[in-house]
Every structure is written in C-alpha cells, then in structure tokens.
C-alpha cells in the first residue's frame, strides 16, 4: 500500500506494454497453418518420435517475391532492424514457410523480428548475420528447431522464442525426429527432401564450413543455449569427426549430440 492509498482501496490494474505492437496484424485471419507435430498438453510417451515438416517453399508466391524485395532493400540501405512480415498481407505471410538464402546478406541487421510467422524452418544462412543481437520468432508455432549455424552469430544476446513449440523443450520433452545416416547414392544437396533431412539444402558443414559429400550430411541434434533460450539445433556435418568435435549440450538436456527418435530425455520440469 502506498502513502496515498486508503485502506481497502483497490489498486489500478497494471498495464504491460506489447513488445511488438507493429508486428501484430489486427485484421481478421490467422497467418499460421495448423500444426499437430508436438503435444502441448502432456509429456510425450516413451519411444515416441516426431516428424519434420515436409512443406516446400513456393518460390512463385507473391509473399515470397515480396520478401526477396524486402531483403534487397534492407541489404542496400544497411538497416539495423528487419521486420519483414509487417510489410506483407496475412495471406502473403502464410505463404512464407522458410527464409531465402539471401537473408545472409543482412550483415548490418542487429534485430530480426519474425513474430507470428508461418515458418517451419530457418536456413543455415542465418549464421551470416554477423551483427545480429536480437532474434524474435515469437509465436511461430510451427518452428520446432533451428540450424546449428545460428551459433555463429557471436553477438546474439537476446532471443524471444516460443519454447513450448520446440523439440525437447523442458516443459514437456517432446521427441525429436529420428535422423538417419548418409546414403549410398548421390543427392542434389541444394534440393533435399525436408521430410527426410529436415532441411532443403545442406552444401557446407555446420561445424567446419567445408563441403558436404554428395551422399548427404552426417546429422545430429544438439540442444544449446542460444542467447536467452535453449534451442534444439540441427547439425549437418561433413564427417563423423566434425560431429565428435561438437560441444556438450545444455544443462538438464541431452548432454551429447544424438540422432533423436527413441532416445531418453531428462524428465520435464
């Protein structure tokens, strides 16, 4: 009770500001497609596994073409903050399921806001944003994992991620998709099947940046602290040696790189 407040007098309700007011569209409609990949209400049963999103980006969609233009504009003017989705209509935002590789050109960007996106994956070129300090894909409920390359953003100190929507989150410990070893046949590393590999492109090693063999990457999951969140990171490595060189996982998470699937996780908290 303050000095000015009388006994029994009710305090006025406290108003908390919206961190991303201009990122929220007030028009009717929801830009996200339905996603049932993870259970949000109970711990996943032992032995469960999760799928990868299989959507392929439509590169002829108006939203995608507009996003390419916005990236070119941001690269040209060297802006430090990039909030592309507020420049798109609801339907155009829904058309964006990944970011283009050209996102790596935004080396001056310090803040990347993707609030409420329909994204299902982030490309490895996110690691080329060398000035990135703030990363906010909050309420992107279909974004369940991130590329290991994001750890190259050495200045990244602040993140706002919907952690209940990610693999292995500490609340429910939903399972990770099972990763398979490279095959025996040559692949088009720029056009991979995301249902199998998680990503649509894996040309260079997530660890050493060397080339990946045509038979495909050596993959692993690793949960690490990235800025202010523990994120599940997908590693696409050129060799088992690069996987062996990975650091330990975050405290209270699976401590070593793993292939997902039927793997035991720490209990939820």
Residue 251 placed within a domain:
no
* Domain extent at residue 38: 32-43+50-244
Residue 27 placed within a domain:
no
User: With bands split at pLDDT 50, 70 and 90, how would you rate the model's confidence at 32?
Assistant: confident
Report CA 226 to chain centroid distance, whole Å: 11
| Distance between first and last Cα of the chain | 35
Residue 10 placed within a domain:
no
Residue 235 placed within a domain:
yes
Residue 13 has pLDDT above 90, yes or no: no
**Angle subtended at Cα 201 by Cα 70 and Cα 217, rounded to the nearest 5 degrees:** 150
Residue 102 placed within a domain:
yes
186-232 pLDDT, tens digit per residue, is 999 999 999 999 999 999 999 999 999 999 999 999 999 999 999 99
Residue 7 placed within a domain:
no
Neighbouring C-beta atoms of residue 145, cutoff 10 Å: 26
224-235 pLDDT, tens digit per residue, is 999 999 999 999
Residue 162 has pLDDT above 80, yes or no: yes
Give the range among 31-35, 80-84, 194-198 with minimum mean pLDDT.
31-35
Neighbouring C-beta atoms of residue 154, cutoff 10 Å: 10
Q: What average pLDDT score do residues 159-186 get?
A: 94
Report CA 138 to chain centroid distance, whole Å: 10
pLDDT given for residue 259 in this prediction: 97
Considering its fold, how many domains does the chain have in total?
A: 1
Burial of 5 (0-12, 13-18, 19+ CB in 10 A): exposed
Residue 56 placed within a domain:
yes
SS3 155: coil
H/E segment holding residue 221: strand 218-226
Residue 259 placed within a domain:
no
| Contact between 149 and 124 (Cβ < 8 Å) | yes
> In the numeric block, which tokens belong to residue 87?
């420049």
Q: What average pLDDT score do residues 10-18 get?
A: 43
């Amino acid at each position: 009770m303050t000095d000015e407040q009388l006994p029994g007098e009710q305090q006025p309700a406290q108003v908390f500001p919206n961190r991303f007011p201009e990122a929220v569209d007030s028009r009717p409609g929801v830009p996200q497609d339905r996603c049932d990949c993870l259970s949000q209400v109970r711990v996943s049963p032992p032995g469960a596994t999760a799928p990868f999103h299989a959507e392929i980006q439509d590169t002829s969609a108006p939203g995608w073409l507009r996003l390419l233009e916005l990236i070119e504009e941001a690269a040209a003017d060297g802006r430090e903050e990039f909030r592309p989705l507020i420049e798109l209509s609801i339907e155009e935002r829904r058309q964006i399921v990944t970011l283009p590789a050209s996102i790596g050109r935004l080396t001056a960007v310090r803040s990347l806001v993707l609030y409420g996106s329909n994204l299902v994956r982030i490309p490895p070129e996110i690691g080329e944003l060398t000035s990135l300090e703030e990363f906010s894909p909050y309420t992107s409920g279909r974004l369940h994992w991130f590329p290991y390359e994001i750890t190259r953003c050495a200045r990244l100190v602040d993140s706002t991620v919907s952690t209940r929507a990610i693999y292995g989150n500490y609340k429910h410990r939903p399972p990770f998709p099972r990763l398979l070893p490279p095959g025996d046949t040559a692949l088009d590393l720029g056009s991979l099947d995301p249902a199998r590999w998680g990503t649509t492109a894996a040309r260079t090693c997530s660890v050493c940046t060397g080339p990946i063999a045509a038979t495909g990457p050596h993959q692993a999951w690793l949960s690490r602290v990235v800025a202010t969140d523990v994120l599940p990171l997908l590693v696409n490595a050129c060799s088992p040696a690069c996987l062996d060189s990975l650091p330990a996982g975050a405290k209270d998470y699976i401590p070593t790189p793993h292939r997902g699937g039927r793997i035991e996780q720490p209990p939820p908290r």
